[in-house]
Amino acid sequence: MMHKTEHKLLIVDDDESLLGRLARVMERKGFVVTIASCIPDARDCIKAEQFTHAILDLKLEQGSGLDIVQILKDNQPDCRVVMLTGFGNIATAVSAVKAGAVDYLPKPADPDAIVAALLQKGEAMPPPPEDPMSADRVRWEHIQRVYEQCGRNVSETARRLKLHRRTLQRILAKHAPRP
């Protein structure tokens, strides 16, 4: 059984709603959670407390989560870091792992996958999830995220996703696919 004092978690993300939701989920999973929404706040938290685990967003408004990985590695080398990003690609995944992250997960990440990555022993990646999201669901979640980031503007979302506007409207009108 997990003891709360054993797992002190720092979560850094500039998306306030995601930060709050993720903090609540991780508290229910047995972590003592501290949140920060920017690099200076994260730096202050790292100076004030010892963390066993951290979940960091790669792309922050005023910098990169990779900067926080370096601060953690310099001050708390045993902290296990998982990077999250909505902008995943191989180059940034390699950078995150080289900087010291133990895993790199695309948003939206399943909370169980995050916990598995945080609690995995050794350097190996955690085993694949028993019931991962379907490819259709991952696509749908990505489209919804970009749509929200574009202020629910269909034309702008379609342009960024390189989709025809009417195609995007049809996708948005449908219910989410099964996970």
- Whether the pLDDT of residue 106 is over 80: the answer is no
Residue 44 belongs to a domain: yes
Same domain, yes or no: 115 and 139 = no
Residue 128 belongs to a domain: no
Q: What is the pLDDT of residues 50-78, one digit of tens each?
A: 999 999 988 888 888 888 988 998 898 88
Domain with 158 in it: 135-173
- Whether the pLDDT of residue 163 is over 90: the answer is yes
**Burial label, 64 (beta-carbon count in 10 A; 0-12, 13-18, 19+):** buried
Q: What is the pLDDT of residue 110?
A: 78
Q: Are 155 and 165 in contact (CB under 8 A)?
A: yes
H-helix or E-strand spanning residue 56 = strand 53-57
Same domain, yes or no: 99 and 144 = no
- Residues 72-87: what's their mean pLDDT? 85
Q: Give the Cα separation of 142 and 136 in Å (integer).
A: 10
Same domain, yes or no: 22 and 87 = yes
Residue 137 has which token pair? 């669901």
Same domain, yes or no: 87 and 112 = yes
Backbone torsions φ then ψ of 71, nearest 5 degrees: -60, -45
Residue 130 belongs to a domain: no
- Whether the pLDDT of residue 3 is over 60: the answer is no
Same domain, yes or no: 108 and 148 = no
DSSP conformational letter for 25: H
Residue 129 belongs to a domain: no
Residue 70 belongs to a domain: yes
Same domain, yes or no: 41 and 13 = yes
Question: Which CATH number does the domain housing residue 145 bear?
Answer: 1.10.10
Q: What is the pLDDT of residues 13-41, one digit of tens each?
A: 888 888 888 899 999 989 999 999 999 99
Q: Give the Cα separation of 146 and 125 in Å (integer).
A: 28
Q: What is the pLDDT of residues 113-160, one digit of tens each?
A: 888 888 876 655 556 666 677 778 778 878 887 887 888 899 999 999
Residue 125 belongs to a domain: no
Q: What is the pLDDT of residue 129?
A: 65
Question: Which CATH number does the domain housing residue 19 bear?
Answer: 3.40.50.2300
Cα Rg, the chain, nearest whole Å: 17
**Burial label, 22 (beta-carbon count in 10 A; 0-12, 13-18, 19+):** buried
Residue 47 belongs to a domain: yes
